[in-house]
Amino acid sequence: MLQVSLYRYNPEADEAPYMQDFSVDTGGRDLMVLDVLELIKADHDGSVTYRRSCREGVCGSDGLNMNGKNGLACITPLSESVKGEKLVIRPLPGLPVIRDLVVDMSLFYAQYEKVQPYLQNPTPAPAIERLQSPEERAQLDGLYECILCACCSTSCPSFWWNPDRFVGPAGLLQAYRFLADSRDTATEDRLARLDDPFSVFRCHGIQNCVNVCPKGLNPTKAIGHIRTMLLNRAT
Amino acid sequence: MVTSVTSFSRTGLSDWLIQRVTSLVLLAYFIVIAYQLLGSVDYTSWRLLFNQTWMKVFTLMAALSLAAHSWIGLWSVFTDYLTERMLGPKGNAIRLLCQLSASLALVGYVIWVIVIIWS
């Protein structure tokens, strides 16, 4: 039996959050953490609340904190997460909890919106498409794959303390995705908006984001590229 | 763009660059001091060392670097932890008070260093 300790909070009924323990029969299988949550919801307590959708690491809905490490519940096997037959599941840290494992991601999306994550090019669009060389396209590898699950930003202490002013690793990865895009012409405006003491420079390079990204991306490296671009622009 | 009137240079890039340059100055200074300490040090040799103009200038550079480096670091710590988000409505007042105290202390230290080495 797997011992699961689950963060519970229903603001309409509970005065404060609490941890609830469940014994889950996994049948000795190496289930994904999401499967364990499904078992709890089906067999133990139907009121357990969490987000999920594709259950294969594509949609980014079920970002959770499992035994202290952020990740996607649907692609995190028990063998990777559980230590000593105990699994502690909490919501993503640093964001307001709506209920149980569901967090309010408004601050996260506000920072994403701030970097204007869309192609900007005022020149008339060509008849078919804006072409890129294979080398220019390769610049976007490791950047475009982000699924906005928020595992990185919510593992970053700088984002915990200043979620309204520090863009966070997810937003900055996307900022660089458009700075690095050969088709985008708003580089100067994008950089000008980032050159303050908080938006980029709150990153102290501790690489929690790299450690938890379920897609294996490297926001710290992208932030380093943004710093270099800001430096080149100013010198 | 997030504005901040109390950061050292008002821009993130300048603060970042100043912190790195000042850390190199401090590293060089402490290597020189460590090298001196590894040899035999007595009052006379110490006095002779600090009587030389290059050492006075170097010490002043190190003191100014330490003050700038510390301010940028402390400013980051204060704006992380001493905020209304963390401490409630009095957060900004507490942070400003700490920033004022820290800046006065750092200016005081620099003046103190100047008095010691140039007097």
Searching chain A, which residue's CA lies closest to the CA of residue B17? A231
Arithmetic mean of pLDDT, A28-32: 93
- Rounded to the nearest 10°, the torsion over CA A32, A33, A36, A38 is -90
Domain ranges of chain B: 9-117
| Tens digit of each residue's pLDDT (9 = 90 or more) over B10-62 | 788 999 999 999 999 999 999 999 999 998 889 999 999 999 999 999 999 99
pLDDT of A20 above 90: yes
> Per-residue pLDDT tens for A175-213?
999 999 999 999 999 999 998 999 999 999 999 999 999
pTM of the predicted model as reported, rounded to 2 decimal places? 0.91
Nearest to A195 among B13, B79, B85 (CB): B13
Please tell me the predicted confidence (pLDDT) of residue A157: 96
Question: Residues of chain A whose C-beta is under 8 A from some C-beta in B?
Answer: 157-158, 161-162, 164-165, 192-202, 204, 227, 230-231, 234
Asked if the Cβ–Cβ distance from B80 to A162 is below 8 Å, we say yes
B47-71 in b/e burial notation, b at 16+ Cβ within 10 A? eebeeeeebbebbeebbbbbbbbbb
Residue identified by tokens 């519970």 is A8
Q: Is B80 on the interface with A (CB under 8 A)?
A: yes
- Whether residue A201 and residue B79 make contact (CB cut-off 8 A), yes or no, is no
A155 secondary structure, DSSP code: G
Q: Measured between CA atoms, how close is B14 to chain A, in angstroms?
A: 9
What pLDDT does B64 receive?
97
Task: Give tens-digit pLDDT for A33-57.
Answer: 999 999 999 999 999 999 999 999 9
Per-residue pLDDT for B3 more than 70? no
Residue B7 Cα, gap to closest chain A Cα (Å): 7
Arithmetic mean of pLDDT, A5-13: 96
Helix (H) or strand (E) holding B25, with range, is helix B12-38
B5 interfaces chain A, CB cutoff of 8 Å: no
Residue A24 main-chain phi, psi, to 5 deg: -115, 130
Residue A198 has its nearest CB partner, among B4, B17, B86, at: B4
What are the chain A neighbours of B86 within 8 Å (beta carbons)?
A: 161
| pLDDT score of B2 more than 70 | no
- The per-residue pLDDT for range A98-149, each reduced to its tens digit, is 999 999 999 999 999 999 999 999 999 999 999 999 999 999 999 999 999 9
What pLDDT, on a 0 to 100 scale, did the predictor assign at position B93?
Answer: 94
Closest by Cβ to B7, choosing from A161, A197, A199: A197
Contacts of B88 (CB under 8 A, 6+ apart): none
Contact B85 A161 (CB under 8 A): yes
- The chain-wide mean pLDDT, for chain A, equals 96
Distances (CA, A) of B90 to A66, B41, B86, B112: 35, 50, 10, 33
Residue B6 scores a pLDDT above 90: no
B contact residues 15-54, partner A, Cβ 8 Å cutoff: 15-17
CB contact under 8 A, B2 and A165: yes
Q: Hey, are the CB atoms on A161 and B76 less than 8 Å from each other?
A: no
Distance from CA of A204 to the nearest CA of B (A): 10
State the Cα–Cα distance between residues A76 and A82, nearest whole angstrom.
Answer: 10
Closest chain A CA to residue B7: A197
Which segment of A56-65, A88-97, B7-16, B106-115 scores lowest on mean pLDDT? Answer: B7-16
**Sorting pLDDT into bands at 50, 70 and 90, what band is B113?**
very high
Taking contacts as CB-CB distances below 8 angstroms, the residues of chain A near B85 are 161-162, 164
**Average pLDDT in the A219-234 region?**
96
Distance from CA of B19 to the nearest CA of A (A): 12
Q: Do B65 and B24 touch, CB atoms closer than 8 A? A: no
CATH of domain B9-117: 1.20.1300.10
Query: Nearest-CA residue of chain A relative to B82?
Result: A161
